[in-house]
Amino acid sequence: MKLKKQIVIIGLFVAAVFVGGYITSCSNMPANGTIVFTRVPVANIDVEKAIPHLFKGANLQAVNRMGKSGEGENLTPGFYSACSPQVSYDAKHILFLGQKTETDLWQVWELNIKDKSTRQITNCKMSCNSVCYLPGDRIAFSKKVTDKKTGITSNALFTINMDGTKLQQITFHPHNDFISTVLKDGRILINSRQVYPKKGKVKYLAMRPNGTKAELFYADNSAAIYGQCVNEANKLIYFTEQNPTTKKTDVAEVSYNRPLHSKINYTENIQGNFYWALPLSAEKMIVSYQSPDSKNVGLWNFLQSEKKISEPIYNDAKFDCFEPVCVKPFQRPKKLPNDIVMAQTSGLFLCTNINFTETGTTQATKIEILGLEKSLGTVDMEKDGSVFLSVVADTPVRIQTLDNENNVVSGPSEWIWVRPFERRGCIGCHENHELVPQNIVPLAINKSAVIIPVDSTNSKKGSEITKVSEMK
Amino acid sequence: MMKKRKLFFLLLIIVVIVIGFSIGPARKKARQHVNYMTAVDDHPLNCLSCHLYTQRSGFLAKMINASYLSPYNLAVAPNGEKLFVVAQEGNALLTIDTKTNRVVDKIAVGTQPHTVLISKDGTRAFVSNEWDDTVYIIDLGTSEITDTIKTGNGPAGMVLCNNETTLYVVNSFSNEISIFDLNTKKERKRLVAGNNPVGAALSPDGKQIYISSRRILPHKYRTPISIEITVIDTKTERVTERKILNDAYLSENVSFTPEGDLAIATLIRPKNLIPSIQVEQGFMMTYGIAVMETKKNGRIVQLLTDQPNSYCSDPFDIVITPDGKKAFVSSSGADIITVIDLTKVRKLLAESSSEQLKQYANNLGVSSKYVIKRISTGANPKGMKASPDGKYIYVAERLNDKISVINTETLDIERTIDLGGPKRITVARKGRRLFNNAGHTFQKQYACYTCHPDVGEDGLVYNMAGVGMGRNVTNTQTLRDIGDIAPYKWNGHNQSVYKQDGMRFSTFLTRTEPFAYDDLDALVAYIITGIKNPPNLRYNPTGKLTDAQERGKKIFYRTHTNDGKEIPPHNRCYTCHPPPDFTNKRLEDVGSLAETDDTIKFDTPQLNNLFNAGPYLHDGRAQTLEEIWTTYDHGDYHGVTSDMTKDQLNDMIEYLKSLRDAKFYENVNVEEEVKKYNAK
């Protein structure tokens, strides 16, 4: 009897310790549904030039959605600057960009939500920029790179292990690339803008995390796309973009299933500018908004169906608020397989018909491949318009089509690259991105791929491969 | 005492096994074994997944598996009060009271029933039994089978016409249409259909029947494909037209608008001729419908039901509402019903040039012009029927054992009817769901089922672009009855189905995240245990060979040529193709190497049920069995055939076509067969 009593008392004591410990630990961590955002002293930034967004003197603030405006908790007290929070899929960590002191480079850090501890992930020689978790144990971020031969400077994307090892560059074109989000299908959505030979328009590209299959996802006549876009279960992607004429910045939505033709502008009839959008449900989102008579950007609730701003979540005249994220677990995107082979030095590129364009067929007979500095040669098309190239990996090229007199028929194209052992295809030049290929064997693949740069002493067509039907 | 001792030893053995596999050298061995079988080093050491759930017979197999109903097609009583559901695996016709949503009757029918029709007065049901070559006529008043009609091979879709005095039956395996006089129950006529015909629809005026078909028509190697929609005049009972649907296959069903001006068929538009390098842009599969104007020289327009970044895989049935305004398409691999606004389709047809219409067939965005909703359903939606008043669409959720009821106004599922199948989902059933669902490919572009319909093969040659882009094209292989015939893949690189469907499968085929291991285990359990070959009722219904087949068998087992020269043992048919699976499970060089192949030897395929598995050889270059030897083997590399007369070759092929499932040959002794057929 005595023993039983003792066991019960010990059991109760152990249970009390566990429960107490649990409650204590929970009280210090942001609750599920807490909003974390970047809070920047108003004097520190010019909002119009907020991309890339490395906000000096900023910190990560946590607020309860239902809390009073202005109340929040600084999650990065040990940092001179911290911004760009990204919540891990299990909502246990937050990835962010930070600098401990004013003179430090910006590096990628990770915050443990439970105990508020931080750890540095990158140790780059250039400041890191936009960052996100990838499915698996890697993250992606952006940083400045300079082409050694041409001196062209741009922002390229990189991936790295969570322990800071195995850094790999994954974009290789003269664009400023910043990460927006990871789509549920596993691809990274990139905010991308050409910088060479001339400044281009900002676009969204979708690309596999190993840098393969980069292709246009969304583009409009916008001057800039701001804000982290978020894809929700209902397959909608939200972002803010600036009208090049009026300079007004609005919240827009596109459908994952038809991104090029499904844009809805939610705020065109609301005065003021919107810089970030965080959808919380089909009805509600949180926006970074600055009304015309306000000197700061605050965090506000926004009702989608009514297209109107409701109450503020955090609005302090001394601070601008950007990059809101919600601390809650969410479905991990697909972890896509990696089919590149780093030991290879080239990748393959097939165009099924260079004369197939969005506006109709053209009369080109060959293509010219343009490198950053010079032409890499011309390649004759096959009778069906197909060309099959072996291109040096991780090197940007553009393609333009030519007629017999070497006049440009179409192009040049966007910059493209192939990763080592990547096999990539397109169905035409300046194609309609909603078209799929016709089901025919492209004649070019019956031959070996033409090696780029083209050796002028060799044929400009691939060498013949004996076809099955001719063998016997 | 004896019992106690037995129990003690049993417990001891279990303890030893558990300890052994936990800490001892047995664990190391088990780890090595699992690593070898799965080709990865982190697959859980779970003996049950491989050695229990893959049991095909015996007590354990019975215990772990369950008999599901698998509703496939259905029909509604003329007054709408009853629903009749064909339970494909339950081999039954279920009657449902649509008011109470309960199963009120279950009538046993033949094997693998396919379609049910109900007479206009609601008194009789006609059920085609695809694996029995029969149609049952059932008195719905007594639930008795009153007549059994012998059909061609593989009866599937049916049509009643001429005041229900005539029954058309589509013979899916023998590519024919049988016409029966229902007064005499005799077959009056047999017409030639397309390749693997299945669905049938009667025009509203009763004058025409359209028959859809699944497999492609004969064509030049590696050139664009097509299938046939067979058009029959019900008055003359003749085929009046063979409509060709270019670049398409697997057209499961067809339906008419109430006006009769359009017939619409489901279809798949595969991209098998293109290297599958850019799945991001539909380089593998697309899905849609063929809209056929029924007037003379009417246009055929193909429209996709897919949208950018998302696909509606494996369309099966199409139902048009009685008011002709909406069409519902069941996408069995995507678990959705796509709702099409036919007014918008008509507008599109009227406004678009022929060039635009041609381009729509490859345009993922155009579906936004006419698809008004995509309704999520339970697993594997197949056959559908509209209620007579057009208020509801009934959907057979094959792998869910349920019927969902869609309200045609709200376009929502209003209710679901449970057919009373087993509630637990077995491992193999889970695997079957995975097999049939496109969720495990990039952007849900294709399911395993897409290229392996009915778990067989789709008859296409694919360019998977594993290395390069024009190399190693491969003929799709059947997955039926493959549990005992490792290695897998034409190059024999896969020692198990685990490896076959593992990491490389995801890198080069599904192009997305690999199966989680429990999903992979379930998929393998389904493939290993669940897939029988249909009976070879066409060429070998009784097991007794015809004279020609018997002569062919003698050639198959021969050891000497016609002029008495001994055939080297390695070059005899039975050496590489011994029963019961008719494969030696090894890689062999039969002179079929093409310049574009990276391997010389190929996995010896099994020959069971090969009569309907064309094209043949690893790259599918032989459209017929004859071509293997007459066109592609000029050096007696693929057995010795050069001495054969034409009749002898024909006989051998007749024998090959007679081959049935492996179980039939389990007790065959090859040596005895050789002795018997080579006796002087």
Task: Encode A394-406 in three state secondary structure.
Answer: CCCEEEEEECCCC
Query: How many contacts, defined by CB atoms under 8 Å, are there between A and B?
Result: 150
* C-beta atoms surrounding A41 within 10 Å: 15
The structure tokens 């031969």 sit at: A149
Cα B112 from Cα B212, distance rounded (Å): 20
Kindly report the three-state secondary structure assignment for every residue of B488-539: ECCCCCECCHHHHCCHHHHHHHHCCCCCCHHHHHHHHHHHHHCCCCCCCCCC
Cα B637 from Cα B643, distance rounded (Å): 13
- What number is the average pLDDT over the span A307-334? 93
* A185 to B503: CB separation less than 8 angstroms, yes or no: no
List the beta bridge partners of residue A361: A356
Burial (CB count within 10 angstroms: exposed 0-12, middle 13-18, buried 19+), residue A10:
exposed
* A427 to B503: CB separation less than 8 angstroms, yes or no: no
The CATH H-level superfamily of A33-327 is TolB, C-terminal domain (2.120.10.30)
pLDDT at A189: 93
Answer whether the bond into residue A197 is a cis peptide, omega within 30°: yes
A359 versus B583: the higher-pLDDT residue is B583
Q: Over 80: is that where the pLDDT of A191 sits? A: yes
Cα B167 from Cα B537, distance rounded (Å): 22
CA-CA-CA-CA torsion sign (A344, B599, B43, B514): positive
Cα-to-chain-centroid distance, residue A52: 13
Single-letter amino acid code for the residue at B33: H
Nearest by CB: B595 against A352, A433, A465: A465
What does the pLDDT look like over A19-44, one tens digit per residue? 544 444 434 455 678 999 999 998 76
If contacts are CB pairs under 8 Å, which of residues 310-339 in chain B contact chain A? 310
What does the pLDDT look like over B296-354, one tens digit per residue? 999 999 999 999 999 999 999 999 999 999 999 999 999 999 999 999 999 999 999 99
Q: How is residue B40 written in tokens? A: 């990865």
Residue of B nearest to A427 (CA): B281
- What number is the average pLDDT over the span B231-239? 97
Query: What value, to the nearest 5°, has the Cα angle with vertex B622 and ends B617 and B624?
Result: 115
Q: How is residue B607 written in tokens? A: 């020959």
CB A410 within 8 A of CB A401: yes
Distances in whole angstroms, Cα of residue A217 to Cα of each of A53, B9, B87, B339: 22, 66, 44, 26
The CATH H-level superfamily of A346-464 is Immunoglobulins (2.60.40.10)
In the Cβ-directed half-sphere of B191, how many Cα atoms lie within 13 Å? 24
Distances in whole angstroms, Cα of residue B156 to Cα of each of B161, B247, B556: 16, 24, 34
Compute the nearest-CA separation of A347 from chain B (Å).
9
Cα B432 from Cα B56, distance rounded (Å): 15
The structure tokens 């291991």 sit at: B517
What does the pLDDT look like over B525-543, one tens digit per residue? 999 986 889 999 999 999 9
pLDDT at B467: 74
DSSP annotation of B438: G
pLDDT at A74: 95
Cα A383 from Cα A366, distance rounded (Å): 11
Q: How is residue B311 written in tokens? A: 């696909």
| Chain A residues touching B309 at Cβ < 8 A | 185, 256-257, 259
Nearest by CB: A425 against B275, B508, B512: B275
B530 versus A131: the higher-pLDDT residue is A131
In the Cβ-directed half-sphere of B592, how many Cα atoms lie within 13 Å? 26
Contacts of B165 (CB under 8 A, 6+ apart): B181, B182, B183
Single-letter amino acid code for the residue at A48: E
In chain B, the domains with their CATH numbers are 1-32 (no CATH), 33-66+427-529 (1.10.760.10), 547-677 (1.10.760.10)
Contacts of B636 (CB under 8 A, 6+ apart): B571, B642
CB B198 within 8 A of CB B157: yes
Cα B270 from Cα B248, distance rounded (Å): 7
The rounded mean pLDDT for chain B is 94
SS3 B27: helix
- What number is the average pLDDT over the span B488-517? 90
Backbone angles phi, psi at B297, to 5 degrees: 55, 30
The percentage of residues in chain B with a pLDDT greater than 90, rounded to a whole number, is: 82
Distances in whole angstroms, Cα of residue A428 to Cα of each of A386, A400, A412, B303, B492: 9, 11, 13, 21, 36
Greatest distance between any 2 Cα atoms in chain A: 104
Nearest to B377 by CA among B357, B362, B356, B394: B394
* B513 to A465: CB separation less than 8 angstroms, yes or no: no
pLDDT at A149: 86
CB A109 within 8 A of CB A120: yes
Confidence of residue A64 (pLDDT cuts 50, 70, 90): confident
Burial (CB count within 10 angstroms: exposed 0-12, middle 13-18, buried 19+), residue A293:
exposed
Compute the nearest-CA separation of B201 from chain A (Å).
29
Least confident range of A353-367, A370-384, B236-250, B428-442: A353-367
SS3 A23: helix
DSSP annotation of B444: G
- What number is the average pLDDT over the span B417-439? 96
* C-beta atoms surrounding A368 within 10 Å: 20
Cα-to-chain-centroid distance, residue A109: 18
| Chain B residues touching A466 at Cβ < 8 A | 595
Compute the nearest-CA separation of B79 from chain A (Å).
39
Least confident range of A237-246, A270-279, B164-173, B401-410: A237-246
CB A428 within 8 A of CB A357: yes
Confidence of residue B196 (pLDDT cuts 50, 70, 90): very high
- What number is the average pLDDT over the span B217-236? 96
What does the pLDDT look like over B584-637, one tens digit per residue? 999 999 999 988 898 889 999 999 999 888 999 999 999 999 999 999 998 899
The rounded mean pLDDT for chain A is 87
CA-CA-CA-CA torsion sign (A29, A35, A39, A45): positive
What does the pLDDT look like over B47-79, one tens digit per residue? 888 888 888 888 888 888 899 999 999 999 999
**R_g over Cα of chain B:** 26
- Give the mutation candidate from A422, A464, A466, A468 for the B interface (greatest B CB count, under 10 A): A468
Nearest to B573 by CA among B662, B636, B660: B636
CB A304 within 8 A of CB A310: no
Domain ranges (residues) in chain A: 33-327, 346-464
CB B78 within 8 A of CB B54: no
DSSP annotation of A80: S
* A334 to B359: CB separation less than 8 angstroms, yes or no: no
| Chain B residues touching A215 at Cβ < 8 A | 280-281
* B364 to A434: CB separation less than 8 angstroms, yes or no: yes
- Is residue B637 less than 8 Å (CB to CB) from chain A? no
pLDDT at A220: 87
Which residues of A136-272 form beta strands (DSSP E)?
138-146, 153-161, 168-169, 175-182, 188-194, 203-207, 215-219, 224-231, 236-242, 249-255, 264-265
Compute the nearest-CA separation of A258 from chain B (Å).
6
Q: Over 50: is that where the pLDDT of A216 sits? A: yes
Cα B508 from Cα B467, distance rounded (Å): 10
Backbone angles phi, psi at A245, to 5 degrees: -85, -55
Contacts of B80 (CB under 8 A, 6+ apart): B98, B387, B388, B389
- What number is the average pLDDT over the span B79-101? 97
Cα A452 from Cα A469, distance rounded (Å): 29
- Is residue B283 less than 8 Å (CB to CB) from chain A? yes
For B195-214, give the DSSP string. Answer: EEEEEEEE-TTSSEEEEEEE
pLDDT at B58: 87
